[in-house]
Copies of this chain bind each other. A is one copy, B any other.
Amino acid sequence: METLHQFIAGTGFMALTWGNAIMIVIGIVFITLAIVKDYEPLLLVPIGFGILVGNIPPVAGMAISVYDEGSVLSYIYFGVSEGIFPPLIFLGIGAMTDFSAMLSNPKLVLLGAAAQVGIFLTLIGALALGFDPQEAGAIGIIGGADGPTAIFLSAKLAPHLLGSIAIAAYSYMALVPVIQPPIMKLLTTRKERLIRMTAPRTVTKRERIIFPIGAFLICGMIAPGSMVLIGMLLFGNILKESLVTDRLANTARNAMIDIVTILLGISVGASTSADHFLTPQSILIFALGAISFCIATAGGILFAKFMNLFLKDKINPLVGAAGVSAVPDAARVVHTVGQKEDPTNFLLMHAMAPNVAGVIGSAIGAGILWTVLVK
């Protein structure tokens, strides 16, 4: 009888809370959006399924959840909580990113800096709402619109908020095609949106090989805290561009990044058990995240308009919106919005420059916050 009792106490039906039920619905919504709407499916399917895993009610005495010492999920989550997975993902991204657009458009790089204003204004907002500085820094990085960077900094500064911050970051990244267009239309005139930009100059193979070395030394010197993320990004890139290490670049951008993405997604999802996730803090984090995406978008656009005051070859200010990172969705949104005004205007290549610059910009931002706020 005792055994039967022990077993029934062990089933989930008894212990399922309303919070768990809500989270399970959220997980199903994530998976549905990923499959039906094709929103970042490579991340939302694993995270969504992870949410299901994390919200089956736990059984006392068994090590199952990511927070139980010795559980399988805790070993997988170790790569998240110690910040190991994000640099490995950056390695793979570097091995698939082509910086040519940026190399041929050096002035557009600054738009990738301007959009990071979203990070720091969100930090101020989070401080004003009463978060402590470490938490505020981690929340601010949502404005960087870069999932791995957000997870890395949260792991270092505010591990207890990691789940909320990661899910906010990926949610809004998935929603970039919904969030950005209204802001872009609001802040630009039709005439500005029609601006055509001149074809960028040729980039040689040598420049593409030397760039990662030079860029790494600059970023490493100016913000050593960004060294791991940017180092891995540019290491992956030199594996790709050197042409003599093709097989390594190939594995980095296929098997390696896939394995890390699977493990990161499922364990980040599984860390959102209702008692950790359904808190007033999470709601504030989601609100701040939405604001930060809007500020970042506006920052990029307005800075492009500001640069136009001094430039002869005008920049189409839509391109500034791509500075938020969220590669390559933000650049595609720019292209689509531009083509709505003039179907013969191809902005994609121009938008890729601030877009990849935005990745570097938010990694620098994360490095600064880590350096200044680390305890």
Which residues from chain A sit less than 8 Å from chain B, CB to CB? Answer: 3, 6-7, 10-13, 16, 24, 28, 31, 34-35, 38, 41-42, 45-46, 49, 52-53, 56-59, 61-62, 64, 70-73, 75-76, 82-84, 87, 91, 209, 213, 216-217, 220-225, 227-228, 231, 234-235, 238-239, 242-245, 247-248, 250-252, 254-256, 258-259, 261-262, 266, 368, 370-372, 374
- Check B224–A12 contact: CB distance below 8 A: yes
A261 closest partner in B (C-beta): B248
- Check A228–B6 contact: CB distance below 8 A: no
A245 vs B254: C-alpha distance when bound (angstroms): 13
Among A38, A235, A254, A261, which residue has the most Cβ atoms of chain B within 10 A? A235
- Check B220–A62 contact: CB distance below 8 A: no
Other A-B pairs, 16, CB within 8 Å; known A13-B221, A52-B231, A56-B220: A7-B372, A10-B224, A10-B371, A12-B222, A31-B242, A34-B244, A35-B242, A45-B248, A49-B234, A64-B225, A64-B228, A247-B258, A248-B261, A252-B258, A254-B255, A255-B259
Chain B residues with CB under 8 Å of A266's CB are: 235
Question: Which of B213, B258, B262, B370 is within 8 Å of A52, CB to CB?
Answer: B213
Interface of chain A, main secondary structure: helix
Known: A41-B244, A42-B245, A242-B41. A221 touches B371 (CB 8 A): no
A224 vs B248: C-alpha distance when bound (angstroms): 33
Top 5 A-B residue pairs of the complex, sorted by shortest distance between their CB atoms? A251-B258, A41-B244, A56-B220, A12-B221, A255-B255
Chain B residues with CB under 8 Å of A57's CB are: 224
A28 vs B205: C-alpha distance when bound (angstroms): 17
Nearest CB on B from A251, distance (A)? 3
A259 vs B95: C-alpha distance when bound (angstroms): 13
Known: A10-B224, A209-B35. A262 touches B56 (CB 8 A): no
